[in-house]
Structure 1
Amino acid sequence: MQQLLHPLCLTLAVTGFLVLLWPPRYLRRDRALTALVGVYGLSALSFLVSIDPVWGLLGDATGNPSIGILAAFGTVTAQVTLQIVVLADWVLPHEKARSRTRLCLAAGAAVIAALVVLFLLLPASGRISPQAFTARYIHVGVYQTFLTLYIGAYTIGQGILAVVCWRRAGGTRGTWIARGLRIVGAGALLTFGYSTIRLVDVAAAVFGFTPLSRSAERFAWLCADGGSTLVLMGFLIPTLAIHIVPRARAWGRAYRDHQRLAPLWHAVYEALPTIALHTHRAASAHGPSLWGATWHLYRRAVEIRDGQWALRHHLDESVRRAAEARYAATGLRGAELAAAVTADQLRGALTAYHRNESPKTPTEYADAGIRDDVRTPNDDVRALLRIAAHFEAVSEHEDAATSWT
């Protein structure tokens, strides 16, 4: 059962770790997120070292065939400690959360140190599989203390997790946070089955009773791994809903808007290639990289504005008046009219630039009068998207007219 469930739990833990780890800049600003990354990383390690091949490799590398049990218990203890740190940062005021964090970390470190000492007192043995380790050592007094300390710390940590999650789930306003906390609480409660069976095994060994059956052992691992899975899923759900999904949507919008600006950018870039950063040309010519789509979008907007500024000496009043009359007749008003006229002006300015012609009557861009309303980079992107839409529409109309003739 253990060797079947652990790889599944390991996959979930690694997935959560990788999802939360990127981009790293968020970790510097969010202590709870940093601790949560640690939860998933330590969880992955605890499952990894308990898989039979890794258990054997670890024993061969260290010269101690039993070292895997210390690695597993130590990483799980650290994981449970960080789970409480995450909750403290989520539900307590800042100063109180800091004091609780220090207390939890100190308690976790003390338990791990005691586990190390007790492990070193265990009698040496040959190669033992993870499944057979407890059965082999359950009648050894040092291991009974070792296991009881671990199970006690584990149960206390999971108990705190269950109580806090269920209490806070009903009082939070965030739907996804409430759902995630309830799942975490359910998972923590499920792990009590594992703890109960392990403590019963210890008590049976101490008082000379027959240990529990293999069915109970399988049930113990089902509770442990099933509970851990629910806890990991519960922590990940609100994080995905609040942090990851909005970032993915923002990336999608940035990529979409970057592509929508492409026809306008290409037209300006072909005339004025110096508008692009040297290291940025490849991304500008094709599409934004997987990371940094928002930066590439803002960079593209800046480059278009730079090109627009460079072409201002080729603006002719006749082009502006003709465009204003034509678009006003179609019902365009305000910012949309200014965007349509500016698109025509840019096309005329590019033609004049290529022909090296100077305007008979210089003028300014139609959107110059509404730029006071552009206060943020997002505002500027939206304004340029309107211009780009009209610029592309005129291009398609001219291409259709050319192919018809």
Structure 2
Amino acid sequence: MSLVVYLAAFMLGVASVLVRRRPRTALRDPLTLSTCVAIALAALVFVCAAPATLAAVNELTGVPNFGAPLTYGMLSAYSCAALVLLINWRGGPRELVRRMVLRSVAAYGLLVLAIVALFALADAGTERLTDLDTYYANTPFMREMILLYLLGHSAAMLVMCAVCLKWAREVTGLLRIGLRLILVGTLLDVVGFQLTKYTAVVARWNGHDLDFLSTDVAPPMASLGAVLCSAGFVLPRLLPPTLAQWRGLLDHRRLAPLWHLVRSASTAPKPPTAWWQLPQVRLQWREVSIHDALLALAPYFDHRVRERARDDALAAGRSPHEARLAAEAAMLTDAARRAAAREEPPPADGSYRLHATEVSGTGGLVELARALDRGRPPPTAPHTPPVPDGAGPNTMAGPMAEPEEPHVA
């Protein structure tokens, strides 16, 4: 069981690190800070609840079952952090949010103190690593401690279920998907962890043995529920920047034909080549360098080349926009050739602007790069003259063929 619990803790820890990409910004943003704290506390709960951790804590402190109030206190702190996260996510007037956060912290702070006090009053001298809830279900003070931590956790999870169900009807997109994941994870926690714990404890109160629900069913259900909840919190915050980086990578590759054509004319500083540079950073460097090269090549633009290419594209049935892009691609190719050969710039009007420089963003440059890629001639095979029908490998036809010798009888 320790392996399953540690795996859940590791996944939650990774999620917390991903959310806190910029620690200084996270400390100033209540929503990011509360998200990181909630996920980190969930990871700590699983670390503390693992039997291997419980045994180490008990041995280190010399107190049998000292890991129980530690784990239950962490679980109560996680319940409080989840409520605080929901409060910050919902937003509202700053004073109202602050007041609700303080009330939640105060309530669960008292709950943690009560858990520690009840454990100190109880007689729990026999170490139990996996079945403490059911083993001590009828022990004075331990019984109240177990019931108290379950009730505190149930209250927080039921509030999360109600709030997520309400918000999911009011929002759309990634936020709705995230809320649904939180709702599914919370329901797994309520049904798979809490309900099974309650059932096993109540069964002990009535003289029955359903300990397997508490020891075998509850831990994996709690792990799965916590992972789904963390995914719901993280998804709306991480997926948009991830998609933006993916689009940056695609646009960086799409600009390759244009960059290879004009890179020799660019005077911009060379971009950093470190492998850890994000795709959007690489894209910005390439975009700046291409615009710099286009300015350097502007004096070499030959508008006669552009007009001929535009007329040919229109005659081929292309739309005016496609014809303009094809014409500008042909003119840019000619300008790059002239600049590389150090030819004199042609006499032309310098007021013309490329379509790629008239639109904001990378879209215009990507269209120009595609036009350049379409305008490249395909590779051709060596030309072989056709052989006329009936001509063998050793015969020739045409005016250069040798005349036949006359037949002599």
TM category (shorter chain) comes to 0.7 to 0.9
| Pairwise CA distance, 1:281 | 4.0
Q: SS state of the match for residue 45, structure 1?
A: helix
The equivalent of 1:392 in structure 2 is 373
- Partner amino acid for 2:82? Q
CA distance in 2, matches of 1:339, 1:365: 17
Q: SS state of the match for residue 282, structure 1?
A: coil
For residues 112-144 of structure 1, the C-alpha deviation after alignment (integer angstroms, 9 at most, x for no partner) is: 344345555666858x35215446655654434
- Of 96-105 and 78-87, more deviation after overlay is shown by 96-105
CA distance in 1, matches of 2:61, 2:333: 72
The equivalent of 2:67 in structure 1 is 68
Closer, same or farther: CA 296–404 of 1 in aligned 2, 3 Å = farther
Q: 1:196 aligns with which of 192, 195, 198?
A: 198
The equivalent of 2:217 in structure 1 is 222
Q: Indicate whether 1:176 and 2:167 are aligned.
A: no
CA distance in 2, matches of 1:326, 1:239: 53
CA distance in 2, matches of 1:102, 1:403: 81
For residues 16-74 of structure 1, the C-alpha deviation after alignment (integer angstroms, 9 at most, x for no partner) is: 44554447688468644542333222222211222222333344555556443233212
CA distance in 1, matches of 2:130, 2:88: 36
**Structure-to-structure mapping, 1:85-234, within 5 angstroms:** 85-91=84-90, 93-95=92-94, 96-119=96-119, 128-134=127-133, 141-170=140-169, 172=171, 175-176=176-177, 179-180=180-181, 182-190=183-191, 191-197=193-199, 200=202, 204=205, 210=207, 212-213=208-209, 215-219=210-214, 222-223=217-218, 225-227=220-222, 229-230=224-225, 232-234=227-229
| Pairwise CA distance, 1:257 | 1.0
Q: SS state of the match for residue 130, structure 2?
A: helix
| Pairwise CA distance, 1:384 | 0.4
Closer, same or farther: CA 89–56 of 1 in aligned 2, 3 Å = same
Q: Indicate whether 1:255 and 2:257 are aligned.
A: no
- Partner amino acid for 1:275? A
May I ask how many residue pairs the two structures share in their alignment?
380
The equivalent of 2:348 in structure 1 is 362
Closer, same or farther: CA 403–248 of 1 in aligned 2, 3 Å = farther
**TM-score, structure 1 length as denominator?**
0.77
* Structure 1 segments unaligned to the other structure (5+ residues): 284-288
Closer, same or farther: CA 86–386 of 1 in aligned 2, 3 Å = same
Q: Indicate whether 1:282 and 2:273 are aligned.
A: yes
**TM-score, structure 2 length as denominator?**
0.76
The equivalent of 1:382 in structure 2 is 363
The equivalent of 2:405 in structure 1 is none
Q: Indicate whether 1:323 and 2:309 are aligned.
A: yes
- Partner amino acid for 2:368? I
* Structure 2 segments unaligned to the other structure (5+ residues): 385-409
Closer, same or farther: CA 365–141 of 1 in aligned 2, 3 Å = farther
CA distance in 1, matches of 2:50, 2:219: 15
CA distance in 1, matches of 2:169, 2:12: 27
- Of 229-238 and 253-262, more deviation after overlay is shown by 229-238
Higher share of residues assigned helix: 1
- Contact 1:46-1:72 at 8 Å conserved across structures: yes
In terms of Rg, which structure is larger? 2
- Of 382-391 and 5-14, more deviation after overlay is shown by 5-14
CA distance in 1, matches of 2:160, 2:276: 36
- Contact 1:169-1:182 at 8 Å conserved across structures: no
Closer, same or farther: CA 166–192 of 1 in aligned 2, 3 Å = farther
- Partner amino acid for 2:158? G
| Pairwise CA distance, 1:101 | 2.0
| Pairwise CA distance, 1:83 | 1.6
The equivalent of 1:347 in structure 2 is 333
Closer, same or farther: CA 48–333 of 1 in aligned 2, 3 Å = same
The equivalent of 1:286 in structure 2 is none
